[in-house]
Amino acid sequence: MTGILQSLARQQCGGRLVFVLEGGYNLISLSRGVRTVLQVLAGDVPAEPGQRGIAEVEAAADFHRGAFVTEADASVALPRTGQDGP
């Protein structure tokens, strides 16, 4: 996505880009994502889209899933998305 944004920025606004981070992320996923964006901005070739990051997405979802559990439904397991379910 960073490479796509760079290309659009070159075409539309002289290559200028602004990136903003907000809080609430899994720190491992956040650090890997920030590093990847900075590497592409520094000239590295963007990775091909595909399965990259799936493990990080699952880890972040697992981390945040607990925020949606109330005491009333704490005994009921929340469904897990991914390869083995919807």
Task: Write out the residue range of the structural domain in which residue 57 sits.
Answer: 10-68
Q: Are 9 and 17 in contact (CB under 8 A)?
A: yes
Look at residue 33 and tell me if it is in a domain. yes
Look at residue 45 and tell me if it is in a domain. yes
Whole-model pTM? Answer: 0.53
pLDDT per position as a tens digit, 18-71: 988 876 667 877 888 888 889 999 999 877 766 666 777 788 788 888 777 766
Look at residue 81 and tell me if it is in a domain. no
Number of structural domains in the chain? 1
Of 33, 31, 29, give the one whose Cα is nearest residue 46: 33
Six token digits for residue 68: 């949606």
Look at residue 17 and tell me if it is in a domain. yes
Of 81, 27, 32, give the one whose Cα is nearest residue 53: 32
